[in-house]
Amino acid sequence: MAKISFNPRTTAYPMPVVLVGATVDGKPNYMAVAWFSKVNSNPPMMMISLGKKQYTSQGIKENRSFSINLPGKNLITETDYCGIVSGRDEDKARLFETFYGEPGNAPMIQGCPINYDLKLAETIELPGTHLFIGEIIGAYVDEDKRRGHIPDLPQAEPFMLVESPPSTYHQLGPQTADAFKVGKKLKQ
Amino acid sequence: MAKISFNPRTTAYPMPVVLVGATVDGKPNYMAVAWFSKVNSNPPMMMISLGKKQYTSQGIKENRSFSINLPGKNLITETDYCGIVSGRDEDKARLFETFYGEPGNAPMIQGCPINYDLKLAETIELPGTHLFIGEIIGAYVDEDKRRGHIPDLPQAEPFMLVESPPSTYHQLGPQTADAFKVGKKLKQ
């Protein structure tokens, strides 16, 4: 198939969406974030990339704490709102019930089935963003969205941002294969 | 709903899977990677997090180039294999047709509908990984998987790794809402 160049600023992979929590100006604030990833296994670390002027960035720098909350599809409207509106202008935390792992840490959202509590480990400055790398110090799952002590991710009903204009949210689809298994047949 | 703690090393979000290309020991090599993200818009930059001993890490450090290739579900078996087997042991590039954006840059996979060509911009050392941040210098999409000059991501049939043991691959599901739009109704 012939290849066509496209604008390299277009993000062409499905981006799971989370709500990042932080205490800003003494109050809980939540922001929708699609640029994040696990980055280290031991200790477990995740990174988020936020615009330098984001209200949340200010709170993370002040308190060296943030949370990553995975919303289910029942929170798509609230999540989208948290990506459109700044905490400088509106109180976004009013939409959620907030809880804390330890006092002084970042606020987390009770209504999100999966929550990570993180301590800031490193901040990398890029041209337009701050890359915040945090160590996970707590992980929580709703009692009814797990198998044993492991989160049952499909039950949490996460959703993905697809940025081919117009941008849309997509559900997680059906299982297609077993990971770390199906490829064994190609071993030489 | 009551919250239960879980092991913070468990990655509880759907991870899109890509094949990272690099020239290692003078030959093209591909590795399956689920820890990656867009991290900057202007210039467009992406990051990948690789174990320090990965064969691919060696190639990226040597050539300061890597590629990110988005496989469709027709390549699930090949992608899984590229996550199980090291390029030190087997020639993984034999499974793919390789192309290059510019001579000397990283190898890309013709059979993947979306390809990014990156120049290494920064390397961050974490306890167990190298975080490679690259600037996107080329972006390619299959002629039949686009709308105008924009990739049509659902048509590319990407898949996600779900790490609730046993780990599985899931397709992108149906669209559920319009992004940057549905949340407007909550504005005060």
SS3 assignment for A138-166: EEEEECCCEECCEECHHHHCCEEEECCCC
Q: What is the pLDDT of residue A104?
A: 86
Nearest C-alpha in B relative to A131:
B39
Residue located via tokens 């989208």: A80
In chain A, residues with a C-beta closer than 8 Å to the C-beta of B166 are 178-179, 181
Query: Which of B83, B140, B171 comes nearest A4 by C-beta?
Result: B140
In chain A, residues with a C-beta closer than 8 Å to the C-beta of B113 are 1
User: Closest Cα of chain A to B11: distance in Å?
Assistant: 7
Pairwise CA distance, residues B7 & A138, whole Å: 8
pLDDT in tens, B62-87: 999 999 999 999 999 999 999 999 99
Is the predicted pLDDT of residue B111 greater than 80, yes or no? yes
Pairwise CA distance, residues B167 & A87, whole Å: 37
Q: What is the pLDDT of residue B188?
A: 87
Is the predicted pLDDT of residue B1 greater than 90, yes or no? no
SS3 assignment, position B150: strand
Which parts of chain A sit beneath pLDDT 70? Answer: none
Q: What is the pLDDT of residue A16?
A: 98
**Does the interface ipTM go beyond 0.95?**
yes
What band does B149 get if pLDDT is binned at 50, 70 and 90? confident
pLDDT in tens, B42-61: 999 999 999 999 999 999 99
Residue located via tokens 């030489």: A188
Q: What single string gives the DSSP state of each residue in B39-74?
A: EETTTTEEEEEEETT-HHHHHHHHHSEEEEEE--GG
| Percent of chain B at pLDDT exceeding 90 | 94
Residues 6+ apart with CB under 8 A from A45: A38, A39, A121, A133, A134, A135, A136, B126, B127
Is the predicted pLDDT of residue B108 greater than 80, yes or no? yes
Q: What is the pLDDT of residue B165?
A: 73
Q: What is the pLDDT of residue B70?
A: 98
**Interface contact A186-B129, CB threshold 8 A:** no
Mutate to test the interface with B, among A143, A168, A178, A185 (most CBs of B within 10 A): A168
Query: Which of A15, A81, A99 comes nearest B183 by C-beta?
Result: A81
**Interface contact A4-B141, CB threshold 8 A:** yes
Query: Which of B1, B38, B141 comes nearest A142 by C-beta?
Result: B1
Nearest C-alpha in A relative to B114:
A12
Structure tokens, A59: 């709170």
Q: What is the pLDDT of residue A168?
A: 97
Are A146 and B1 in contact by the 8 Å Cβ rule? The answer is no
Q: What is the pLDDT of residue A98?
A: 98
